[in-house]
A and B are shown apart, each in its own frame.
Chain A
Amino acid sequence: MKPELELKLQAWLDGELPAAEAEQARRLAAAEPEAARLAAELQAIKTALLNSEEIVAVPETREFYWSKIERQIQRESVDRPLLGPSWTERFRRWLAPLAGAAALAAVLLVALNQFRPQQTAFNQVSGMADDYTPRTFRDNPSGINFVVFQANPQPSAVSAGAQPVRTRNDGSSFLIEKE
């Protein structure tokens, strides 16, 4: 049976159909065995529900009973102050997103620190005597910055075959000593 017919039968039993359609539904229930069975089943359920529902009698009249409910509603709406959530509730409400934001900020801060150039790598020579060229580098295992004085070749001296008369090799010389 089509769902539309089932619904029509149900509406007919509930008394919701106009007279013409109700007549059609009645004929259908009389002609079709399946429709008749469904109609009987629905009727049985309806009867069972009606019989099992407990009827509670209100001692007051309907108007008086309703007026009591209405007064109670009005009293509660007047008595209840318009308070927001308590401070603990607000604290809890804000703490979770605040903690999340703080954690995110901390992670960003750490990440930025990772990419910031290390100050300990600072190593520069801004001025040097003409005879020398500075070479700077960093020994990463020890973290030591090096500045090496490299002597520039002196073509005139080389061509002339000039050699230092004496060099001191006791470590007390600071630069190449020529006498």
Chain B
Amino acid sequence: MSQPVHPTSRRLIAAMFLLALAFQMAAPAAPAAPAADLKLEAKLLWGANGRPDAVKYHLTDPALAATLRRNFKWTNYYEITNLAAVIPLNQSRLVRLSDRCTLSVKYLGSSLVAVDCLNQGIQISKGTNALPCIYAGTNLDDTAWFIRLRSLDDKSKK
């Protein structure tokens, strides 16, 4: 036969449960990781409406293409360059995506990067972005270029 629980013990158990719940809720979802190097992936993409078999580049992954298709008018998105770079905290690295396109990327921590777009050494833009981000622009022949930056530590296919 089970012993009846004393009311004081019941209150104590309830209080312990509340305390545990409070600590659980107050704790961050994941332990804060020390600031590590950024493993950056940089992709240069090309958006066009022409037939894919007439283009020498491969189509990019479907998830990324779907995201671009949702926001831009082009049907096909080709991968021109795919580079990776390791950038320590508060340091910059040059990422050369093509003859005309180089990025200077500085890792600011917490998935933030300061990005300078350089066109043949001339600064075109300067900005600060949270990863993942995509830079985009149009060409005169009704096609477009895209630069997708993301952290390789980010496992999602953004």
Question: What residues make up the interface of A, taking CB atoms closer than 8 Å to B?
Answer: 92, 95-96, 98-100, 102-103, 105-107, 109-110, 119-129, 132, 134, 137, 139, 141-151, 164, 167-177
- Per-residue CB proximity of B96-113 to A under 8 Å, as 1/0? 011111000000001110
A142 and B134 alpha carbons, distance in the complex (Å): 11
Please name the residue on chain B nearest to A151 by beta carbon.
B138
Closest Cβ neighbor of B22 among chain A residues: A102
- CB distance A109 to B26 under 8 Å? yes
C-alpha spacing A173/B63, complex, angstroms = 24
Q: A103-B18, A134-B127, A176-B138 are in contact. List 14 more A-B contacts (CB 8 A).
A: A99-B22, A103-B19, A119-B110, A123-B127, A139-B67, A143-B156, A144-B67, A149-B136, A149-B138, A164-B140, A169-B48, A172-B99, A173-B100, A173-B139
A99 to B136, CA, bound (A): 52
Write the chain B residue with the least CB distance to A142: B67
Q: Bound state CA distance, A98 and B138, in angstroms? A: 61
In this assembly, does B83 line the interface, its C-beta being within 8 Å of a C-beta of chain A?
no
Q: Is the CB of A175 within 8 A of B140?
A: no
Q: Which of B55-80 contact A (CB under 8 A)?
A: 56-57, 63, 67, 70-71, 78, 80
Q: Which of B98, B111, B132 makes the CB contact (< 8 A) with A174?
A: B98
B134 partner residues in chain A, CB cutoff 8 A: 144-147
Closest A residue, CB atoms, query B45: A171
Query: Complex: how many Å from CA A142 to CA B71?
Result: 11
- Of B57, B112, B136, which one neighbours A119 at CB under 8 angstroms? B112
For B128, the chain A residues whose CB sits under 8 A away are 122-124, 126
B132 touches A175 (CB 8 A): no
**Nearest A residue to B143, CB-CB:** A169
C-alpha gap A148/B110 in the complex (Å): 23
Asked whether B100 lies within 8 Å of A141 as measured between CB atoms, the reply is: no
For A127, the closest partner residue in chain B by CB is: B126
Whether A99 touches B133, Cβ cut-off 8 Å, given contacts A122-B128, A147-B127, is no
Question: With A145-B134, A170-B46 in contact, is A102–B23 under 8 Å at CB?
Answer: yes
Given A142-B67, A171-B57: A125 in contact with B125 (beta carbons within 8 A): yes
Instruction: Please state if A171 and B123 are interface contacts (CB–CB under 8 Å).
Output: no
Asked whether A96 and B15 contact (CB < 8 A) given A122-B112, A171-B44, the answer is yes
CA gap between A172 and B143 in the complex, in Å = 12
4 nearest A-B residue pairs (beta carbon):
A171-B46, A174-B101, A149-B137, A127-B126
